[in-house]
Amino acid sequence: MRIVVAEEGCMGCRYCENICSVHFVDEFRPAYSAIRVVFELPESHVMKPNVCRQCEPEPPPCAEACPAGAIVKDEKLGIYVVDRESCTACGSCVEACPYDAIFLPPGAEFSVKCDLCGGQPKCVEWCPRDVLRLE
């Protein structure tokens, strides 16, 4: 499973960022969002949601780079997630991600990577333009 983005439809509302941060820290704090809307302004006026692509083959670069072994496979979902208890917030996974889709918010105790909200991603549910879909 993974989230697929239809980039051409994004209007930059950032609902996805806000609802995702609520999932991770129970408040609207986009720095704790696992999806980020990247603005390519002013030339192109393009907005692109960026979220973990759930890299294949296994293990993904983020998991290989983690010295604490904190990026583990969720067998139920078939994806790699951050084990908050094991994560040391060293940032190795952030540096290793080829898509800039793992984040370490300032002062955070764990890295933020899409975990698909346990299989029912809120960003997909709340996107007003159906730019995001679960595949």
List Cα–Cα distances, 10 to 16, 34, 68, in angstroms. 11, 17, 36
The total number of residues shown for the chain amounts to 135
* CATH fold group of domain 3-130: Alpha-Beta Plaits (3.30.70)
Q: Is the pTM of this model over 0.85?
A: yes
Distance CA 108, CA 85 (A): 13
pLDDT of residue 44: 65
Tens of pLDDT, residue by residue, the chain (135 residues): 899 999 788 988 999 999 999 998 999 999 999 999 998 777 667 788 999 999 988 899 999 999 999 999 999 999 999 999 999 999 999 999 999 999 999 999 999 999 999 999 999 999 999 999 999
Strand partners, 51: 35
Query: What residues contact residue 67 under an 8 Å CB cut-off, 6+ apart?
Result: 88, 90, 92
Calpha distance 5→111 (Å, rounded): 22
Nearest to 39 by CA among 17, 20, 19: 17
